[in-house]
Amino acid sequence: MIDERHERLLDQIRRANVEFVHFQFTDIPGAIKSVAIPASRLQASLERGVWFDGSSVEGTARFAESDLYLRPDPTTFALLPWDARPTGRLLCDICLPDGSAYPADPRQALKRALAEAAELGYDYRVGFELEFFVFEDRADLFGDGRIPEPLDTSSYFDESDDRAANLCWTAAQALGGFGFEVEATHHEVAPGQHEVDLAEHDALSAADALVALKWALRSFGRRDGLLVSFMPKPIEEASGSGLHVQQVLAHREGGGNAFGDGAAEYGLSAVGKHYIAGQLAHARGMTAVIAPLVNSYKRLMGGAEAPGQISWARINRGSLIRVPEVAQGAGARVELRAPDPSCNPYLALAAMLEAGLDGIRNELPLPGPVEELPDRASGADGESAGPAANPLPGTLGEALEELEWDPVVRGALGQPIYERFLAAKEAEWLAYRRHISLWELKSYFKGA
């Protein structure tokens, strides 16, 4: 039997003359996948789901469990503004043939963490600050061995190239059609680097919104001959791109901010302090999830406001966690600054939430803030040189070792996702270690 939500969806699709609907999900690394079906087949697909071969999707399923089904969430329907003909999109949960949740579905991992927060009396709300680079989309990309030139030469808060500004605002408007709110867009520090800030949403909607935003930026970019890159550090001399996450726990009863206490030290309640302490305690274990690429660790070297050590602060933007000062009555929020745009947002938020909840459950003490980094010599590129007092992992390989040692973060992923994630990332790290770079050849070929 088709329920009332499905009837409303079908009516909406008929009125919009939709021809095709994309059933969309993410694989474990975070890539967007979809199956397009004719609108005429939608009712049957809503009732039974859409079969797909999970073994053919990276990190999704073993051959023994390759028969999987996409179950669409009717609340996620949106029209795609970049398609010439009326086309819709629905986000899906992955299910087993018997209808039960598939344990290696990233969206389900976040739902499990949110359920645990709810049992403790909290709702988890987040906002994202997404940084990215915009380049000309050249046909001979990397053909000459160099990355393309950024689209503009502007800097922080400058008026940017009209094409890039139009791209950001067009994507922001599209997000409104998806049911999500964009707070602002602006040019970032590096040439060709931009930021779009997503307003605070419940965590599941926020992850859905980030998936939609990245898809919209890339789709509109391709239409306009532009290449949008979410690579954490595409240009050696420039600042990297982060995904700063503004986090709030709200009381389920009454909806009040659980982090804030204006009369307490730092304006943080006991819950807020324990939550931050939990994320600091599990920072090394969750780094592989929130910064999952080899390239991520070329951003996380300290300097350029990217964290390199495990600390928190009120003002210091080089800290791992920052608690911004807010207007009276606005409520406290906790900003985690290590994630980057390459992460799977469902897995990243699940790991972050479970780390914070572990701090609350065990009443972990919060160390004092570090408002200034240790006085160290500065490198030629302005980044701090020398070892950090309490460093984040320095490589993907080191981060994977820390993940293996952290039962809380592994539990946030669940064993099926953890095994697949670890296998994919270990293969990536091994391929990188085997690769002989141009820098090595230039440095050692003649003189070694």
Q: How far apart, in whole angstroms, are the C-alpha atoms of residue 419 and residue 416?
A: 5
Give per-residue pLDDT as tens, 26-49. Answer: 999 999 998 899 988 888 888 888
Contact (CB, 8 A) for 88 and 18:
yes
Q: Of 170 and 53, which is predicted with more confidence?
A: 170
Average pLDDT over residues 46-58: 76
Confidence class of residue 57 from pLDDT cuts 50, 70 and 90? low
Cα distance between residue 329 and residue 332, in whole Å = 9
Q: Region 67-74: what's the mean pLDDT? A: 89
- Encode pLDDT of 279-297 as tens digits: 999 999 999 999 999 999 9
Where does residue 419 rank: exposed (0-12), middle (13-18), buried (19+ CB within 10 A)? middle
Give the 3-state DSSP-derived string for the chain, with helices as H, strands as E and coil as C. Answer: CCCHHHHHHHHHHHHCCCCEEEEEEECCCCCEEEEEEEHHHHHHHHHHCEEEEHHHCCCCCCHHHCEEEEEECHHHCEECCCCCCCEEEEEEEEECCCCCECCCCHHHHHHHHHHHHHHCCEEEEEEEEEEEEEEECCCCCCCCCCCCCECCCCCCCCCCCHHHHHHHHHHHHHHHHCCCCEEEEEECCCCCEEEEEECCEEHHHHHHHHHHHHHHHHHHHHHCCEEEECCCCCCCCCCCCCEEEEEEEEECCCCCECCECCCCHHHECHHHHHHHHHHHHCHHHHHHHHCCCCCHHHHCCCCCCCCCECCEECCCCCCCEECCCCCCCCCCCEEECCCCCCCCHHHHHHHHHHHHHHHHHCCCCCCCCCCCCCCCCECCCCCECCCCCCECCCCHHHHHHHHHHCHHHHHHHCHHHHHHHHHHHHHHHHHHHHCCCHHHHHHHCCCC
Exposed/middle/buried for residue 95 (C-beta within 10 Å: 0-12, 13-18, 19+): middle
Q: Is the pLDDT of residue 54 over 80?
A: no
Arithmetic mean of pLDDT, 420-440: 94
In order of their start, the domains of the chain are 4-101 (3.10.20.70), 111-444 (3.30.590.10)
Tens digit of pLDDT for each residue in 192-202?
899 999 999 99
- What confidence tens digit (pLDDT) does each residue in 122-168 have? 999 999 999 999 998 876 777 666 677 777 766 555 565 688 889 99
Res. 383 pLDDT band, cuts 50 70 90: very low
How far apart are the C-alpha atoms of 277 and 23, rounded to whole Å? 39
Percent of the chain residues past pLDDT 70, beyond the cut: 88
Tokens for 108? 């389900």
Q: Largest Cα–Cα distance of the chain, in whole Å?
A: 74
User: What's residue 339's pLDDT?
Assistant: 98
**Residues 217-263: pLDDT tens digits?**
999 999 999 999 999 999 988 899 999 999 999 999 988 999 998 88
Give the least confident one: 183-187, 259-263, 324-328: 324-328
User: Minimal CA–CA distance to 67: which of 79, 45, 49?
Assistant: 49
Confidence of residue 188 (pLDDT cuts 50, 70, 90): confident
Which of 21-30, 76-85, 125-134 is the most confident on average? 125-134
Candidates 182, 189, 204; CA nearest to 129 is 182
Tell me, rounded to whole angstroms, the distance of Cα 5 from its chain centroid: 29
Q: Rounded to an integer, what distance in angstroms lies between the CA atom of residue 276 and that of residue 268?
A: 10
Give the pair of three-digit tokens for residue 161: 């190239």
